Amino acid sequence: MEKHTVKPYDVVVIGAGNGGLAAAIRVLQGGYSCLVLEQHNLPGGFATSFKRGRFEFEASLHELNDFGSPDQPGDIRTLFRDLGVEDKIDWIRIPEAYHLITTDKQYDCEMPFGIEAFIDKMEQYVPGSRKSMTEFFELCNEVRDAQTYSNSVNGNTDSSYMKEHFPNFIKAGSYSVNEVLDALHMPKKAQDILNAYWCYLGVDCDRMSFLHYGSMVIRYITRDAWMPKMRSHEISLALDTRIRELGGDIWYLSPAEKILTDDENRIRAVRLSDGTEIPTRHVIANCSPHLVFGKMLEEKSVTEQMVRATNARTFAGRGFTLFLGLNKSAEELGIKSHNYFIYDTADSVKQYDMMRKVDTNHVQATVCLNNAYPGCSPEGTCMMYFTTMFMSDDWGNVSETDYFKAKDRVADDMIRVFERETGCAIRDAIEEIAVASPTTYARYCGHPQGVIYGYETADWDSLMPRMMMMKEDAQLFPGLRFAGGYAMRSSGYSSAYVSGDLSGRQTVGDLKREVR
């Protein structure tokens, strides 16, 4: 562990993941001192890349939504401008929304960006769907506007204003995706095609809040999706640079061990694993409440309310990713799309249940980055990464002796399914291969069970209740806020940056109130 000069900080951010880095910048822009502590030697958490042979693989980002073009920016590009990092990154536009394939042979659909283009394409696949699709996007626009308002007031929404300006947002707040689509009289086939993005939120459409799904879909379809040329690590390095420009500090190889409290149960310091104590009154944790309340916060300060609130929640998907470097181009191999969703069935409820078990999970969200950025790998080659999730801790039942064989079985199945459903023979072109299991993710980022999606956003813990509970959650332990995938907005790159923005600005508000 590198030695640093110890001094008090107004805020200590634990974890240099997406949310933590964004939160640190907001604290510094607010005029307060900030230190970011990171256990690894690089920033970004999942937002990173790694090299195998002549390929540099993206570790996790498929595409960044709600970004938009320079002259028509989405909320995330606007946020990056405000943070001062937009121009530090080279951006590329993703060519299409998604390519949905179901192995029961019902669907093979390629969907574009842009509301009009999306509706036109849906009408081709499902004649008679235009009216319901148009009403869907109108409702989604209201959802997005309501969330933008909530974010602009740091979650301190005015109920009268919400009722007056966003009445349909309020009406839809307690309903699932499928309930709202049924109410819109959307044909079942159109629902199936529209719901392809569900795996990006990790909850089946019978339990997923319509507000959450509608918010994501409108951001994808209206603002396109974008990607840094040098993978997501380019974003992490830009955020790191910006923190230092603003006078902040980042300590790498510096794992935080304890959040220390005084006799009045107020935060007084963060202790590192080597015993170093950094005085502070405020902590933003870019890690899970299970970790913070279970291990990091001093036991004398952990309340029954914290334990109950945390243990009541359900972990979302555990990650598994296969990375392939291929010695032929995407064109040679016949790989047409950038982003594939390949499901056994378009029924998200049945598919979710099949994803509970290692042996029955054949889902994949698969990317060929070369179809968005041909120069991402050497000429005449291409890169692919295949991701799935396990909706239970079934990977924990894999024995130590069977671990590597189990990884190989899942990876082999991913390749087999992709070849069978697309007709692209990729196996013989494999030059480099790497596999990340839930165990890999647990080890790399310290997430329980290898979870990559935070807490499941379903039923009582969906997006609307989380928005309504923001004030109460902040009172669980004053001086402590959360950012990243386990925070209010849940997981996903765009959500992580928004959560960091929100927790950083809220912490600035906390600091200002202290001196009144």
Task: CATH number of the domain at 466, please.
Answer: 3.50.50.60
Q: How far is CA 412 from the centre of its chain?
A: 26
Looking at residue 256, what DSSP letter applies? E
Round to whole Å and give the CA distance between 38 and 15: 5
Give the global pTM: 0.95
Return the SS3 of 460.
helix
In a domain, 294, yes or no: yes
pLDDT top residue among 418 and 487: 418
245 has pLDDT over 90? yes
Quote the pLDDT of residue 516.
62
In a domain, 470, yes or no: yes
pLDDT top residue among 466 and 130: 130
C-alpha pair distances (Å), 428 with each of 54, 415, 421: 18, 11, 17
156 has pLDDT over 80? no
Residue with tokens 């309501």, as numbered in its chain? 146
pLDDT top residue among 377 and 150: 377
Question: What is the band of 231 on the pLDDT scale with cuts at 50, 70, 90?
Answer: very high
Return the SS3 of 225.
strand
Residue with tokens 């990884």, as numbered in its chain? 407
In a domain, 153, yes or no: no
C-alpha pair distances (Å), 140 with each of 137, 169, 175, 211, 462: 5, 9, 14, 8, 17
- 419 C-beta neighbours (distance < 10 Å), count: 14
Structure tokens at 420: 């069978």
Q: With beta carbons less than 8 A apart as the criterion, state whether 164 and 148 touch.
A: no
End-to-end CA distance of the chain: 39
Residue 18's nearest CA partner among 41, 44, 48, 50 is 44
Return the SS3 of 353.
helix
pLDDT digits (tens, 9 = 90+) for 88-105: 999 999 999 999 999 988
Round to whole Å and give the CA distance between 344 and 355: 10
209 has pLDDT over 80? yes
In a domain, 348, yes or no: no
- The DSSP-derived string for 253-289 is S--EEEEEE-TTS-EEEEEETTS-EEE-SEEEE-S-H
**Which residues, listed in sequence order, are joined to residue 269 by a DSSP beta bridge?**
260, 279
2 has pLDDT over 70? no
Residue with tokens 């990375």, as numbered in its chain? 323
Question: What is the band of 1 on the pLDDT scale with cuts at 50, 70, 90?
Answer: low
248 has pLDDT over 90? yes
Quote the pLDDT of residue 361.
97
In a domain, 410, yes or no: no
Quote the pLDDT of residue 340.
98
Report how many domains make up the chain.
1
> What residue numbers bound the domain in which 272 lies?
11-50+231-312+459-514
Residue 391's nearest CA partner among 438, 342, 344 is 438
Structure tokens at 101: 């394939």
In a domain, 238, yes or no: yes
**Which residues, listed in sequence order, are joined to residue 100 by a DSSP beta bridge?**
109, 341
Quote the pLDDT of residue 111.
98
pLDDT digits (tens, 9 = 90+) for 434-481: 999 999 999 988 889 999 999 999 988 887 788 778 888 888 899 999
Q: For residue 365, what is the enclosing H or E element?
A: strand 364-368
- Helices (H), ranges, 264-423: 289-291, 304-311, 330-333, 348-354, 403-422
In a domain, 398, yes or no: no
Round to whole Å and give the CA distance between 516 and 514: 6
- Segment among 176-180, 316-320, 415-419, 455-459 with least mean pLDDT: 455-459
Q: Which amino acid is at 171?
A: K
Quote the pLDDT of residue 491.
82
Average pLDDT over residues 139-159: 84
Looking at residue 425, what DSSP letter applies? -
Angle CA(84)–CA(89)–CA(95) in degrees, nearest 5? 125
Quote the pLDDT of residue 41.
95
In a domain, 68, yes or no: no
Buried/exposed code over 1-11 (b: 16+ C-beta within 10 A; e: otherwise): eeeeeeeebbb
Looking at residue 317, what DSSP letter applies? P
- 274 C-beta neighbours (distance < 10 Å), count: 11
pLDDT digits (tens, 9 = 90+) for 101-127: 999 888 999 999 999 999 999 999 999
Q: How many helices and strands in the chain, by DSSP H and E?
A: 19, 20
